Chain A
Amino acid sequence: ELKVEQNPLFLSMQEGKNYTIYCNYSTTSDRLYWYRQDPGKSLESLFVLLSNGAVKQEGRLMASLDTKARLSTLHITAAVHDLSATYFCAADSTSGGGADGLTFGKGTHLIIQP
């Protein structure tokens, strides 16, 4: 059974600082997804990581995947208030061909203060 764990679950940080959110998963999965959710809103796709060593960047966010360590990271550089949100990582089971849905972490509630 695939399990996904994120840490920290809650993070309060100051603008301008750097920080990393960690996502561990329990069984073989070559695909890792990051989503953002604003309060009361739906989920917005940020990154799709499809292979070991994959790195993707968008603005102040950078995501990476290490399939051997079963670890993905979401790094925030020089945080700004607009990045305040809840961030979810999710993985799918390769045994299902990827069509059998995602297993989500519990989410990291990120607050960025001026």
Chain B
Amino acid sequence: NAGVTQTPKFQVLKTGQSMTLQCAQDMNHNSMYWYRQDPGMGLRLIYYSASEGTTDKGEVPNGYNVSRLNKREFSLRLESAAPSQTSVYFCASSEAGGFYEQYFGPGTRLTVT
């Protein structure tokens, strides 16, 4: 099992450009999540999908959109990137939300200039 995979690993964007971060899991998990990690801030939840077909905003959703493409895949889109979105982005999944730990992908390091 590959667990949780993310692409790309690194990306540099110019202000105003758009991009989509891809995430896939092969553990048959129902719930998937997108977090961002900034120095000294811990991880903050951007969006989550409790189950296939549903998505909800987390703590810091502004400037992002998500798509739960199917049970395996959950993508994060930046429509018009801003320097404030420079961060490391982690995707995670869990079996049923709560009572189970979340498994994290390797992360995408994004720089917006």
Contacts and interface: CB of A to CB of B under 8 A. Distances in A.
Interface in A68-114: 88, 90, 92, 94, 96-107
Interface residues of B, number: 30
A92 B98 CA distance: 7
B33 A101 contact: yes
B4 to A, nearest CB: 8
A105 B44 CA distance: 9
A101 B90 contact: no
A104 B98 contact: no
Interface string A1-13: 0001000000000
Interface stretch (A14-22, A40-48, A59-67): A40-48
A88 B102 CA distance: 13
B101 A97 contact: no
B42 A88 contact: yes
Interface in B96-113: 96-107
Contacts, number: 72
B53 interface: no
Contact of A104 (B44, B50, B105): B44
Interface string B4-45: 000000000000000000000000001101010000111111
Given A102-B45, A104-B44, A106-B42, A50 B99 contact: yes
Interface size class of A (residues with CB under 8 A): 20 to 34
Contacts of B107: 42
B48 interface: yes
A43 B88 CA distance: 12
A100 B50 contact: yes
Interface string B42-64: 11110010110000101100000
A104 B43 contact: yes
A99 B97 contact: yes
Nearest to A2: B59
B42 A42 contact: no
A94 B99 CA distance: 10
6 contacts: A88-B42, A88-B43, A96-B98, A99-B96, A100-B58, A104-B43
